[in-house]
Amino acid sequence: MENVEFLEEKAPEGGKKPSFEEAYARLEQLVSQMESGKLTLEESVKAYEEGAKLVKYCESELARYEEVIKKLAGN
């Protein structure tokens, strides 16, 4: 299984966070791995933990862009 610290791996100190698309693709990959039933219990827990972080990250990105759209629309 790939490194489960995707967000931290993609954002070294002073570095750039992953795009929404990258984070969402990683989340889809984790779900697929977990659904396969091929992960150990430890790998599953780590994948779940990373997935939870990715969900929060994606939600915050969507909320941020929603605010941008509202401002552009004049709301």
**pLDDT tens for the chain, residues 1 to 75:** 444 456 656 654 556 889 999 999 999 999 999 999 999 999 999 999 999 999 999 999 999 999 999 999 987
Among 1, 15, 16, 12, smallest CA distance to 49 is for 1
Q: Tell me which residue has tokens 């990258």.
A: 22
Cβ neighbour number for residue 6 with a 10 Å cutoff: 22
Contacts of 26 (CB under 8 A, 6+ apart): 6, 18, 50, 54
Position 1 scores a pLDDT of: 47
CA dihedral 13, 16, 17, 18 (to 10 degrees): -140
Record the tokens describing residue 12, joined without a space. Answer: 């070294």
Predicted local confidence at residue 8, as pLDDT: 58
Domain 19-73 has CATH 1.10.287: yes
Residue 55's pLDDT is: 97
Q: State pTM to two decimals.
A: 0.76
